[in-house]
Amino acid sequence: MSGRLSQTVRVWPQYLMPKHALTRCAWWISNIQWPPFKNAFIRLFCRLFPVDLSEAEASNPSDYTHFNAFFTRSLKPDARPVASAQWVAPADGTLSQLGTLTGSNKNQLIQAKGLHYSLEALAGRTTGLDHYRNGQWITIYLAPYDYHRVHMPAGGRLLQATRLPGELFSVSDRTAAIIPKLYAKNERLVAEFAHEHTQFMVVMVAALMVAGIETVWDNSTERRPQAQARTTTPAGIELAKAQEMGRFHWGSTVIVITPPNTAPWRDDLQPGQTIRLGEALTAA
């Protein structure tokens, strides 16, 4: 059996499983506060995954109210130095893909080798995106053991935030290599910010077992599925570079998109590379 066919066979059950029901169940379990259960759950998770609690503000599993509080744990103030570059990594994770928007309309992102998707599909609209054409993008995958808060890649004022309904496929590399337009199919939050004389987009993509996407301007985890897209324009939300903008309740993926008049990504950034919040994405 070829490698791609073998991967397809392993992934196709995701089309059939009750993903939203399983995710609602995961949300319920992760919020159980009974100490014997939640402490055992957290300790088991730490044995299964390389979680470094020494960098967290609370390093003892018993200090957390429930598993969800542990999963969205905060870090010590000095745990992630912030680079002086204009653009920095918004989260801990692995660089999945990065590059320049390509194609005849300069609007195509790469999901995996041989798989592309459009900015319009990701953003859930066809208007108001021209200034991003020929810009650049970077995709960061957050593994279960990673820190799951998402921060600002640059300072900016929130222009609008759109919650889009969709599927809850896994966003692992294996799944991303098989399911076309995966990030544009899954539930997601699309946030756009004004930055100096331009603007940028941060997309938080939900996934299987991701029980909610929370933001600092709207702490509703929106346990869905939503029936339709919902756009809000909160006033007065100004966030500094590396300041928290939101968090995943369980893990997923972040995509940053900038227009063509911004500094290019560092030449040494490569797919598969581990990156930490606050590391420089650009040389300047």
Residue 198 · residue 254 · CB < 8 Å: no
Query: CA neighbours within 13 Å on the CB side: how many for 131?
Result: 13
Catalytic position from the list 66, 148, 151, 249? 151
- Is 6 in the active site? no
Question: How far apart, in whole angstroms, are the C-alpha atoms of residue 32 and residue 11?
Answer: 30
User: What is the radius of gyration, based on Cα positions, of the chain?
Assistant: 18
Which residue reads 């009750």 in tokens? Answer: 18
Reduced to 3 states (helix: H, G, I; strand: E, B; else coil), residue 115 is: strand
What are the C-alpha distances in Å from 247 to residues 8, 41, 69, 137, 146? 30, 21, 11, 20, 12
Catalytic position from the list 30, 92, 148, 195? 92
Which residue reads 């918004």 in tokens? Answer: 90
Catalytic position from the list 30, 96, 170, 252? 252
- Is 84 in the active site? no
- Is 54 in the active site? no
Question: How far apart, in whole angstroms, are the C-alpha atoms of residue 182 and residue 169?
Answer: 8
Residue 284 · residue 127 · CB < 8 Å: no
Active site residues: 92, 151, 252
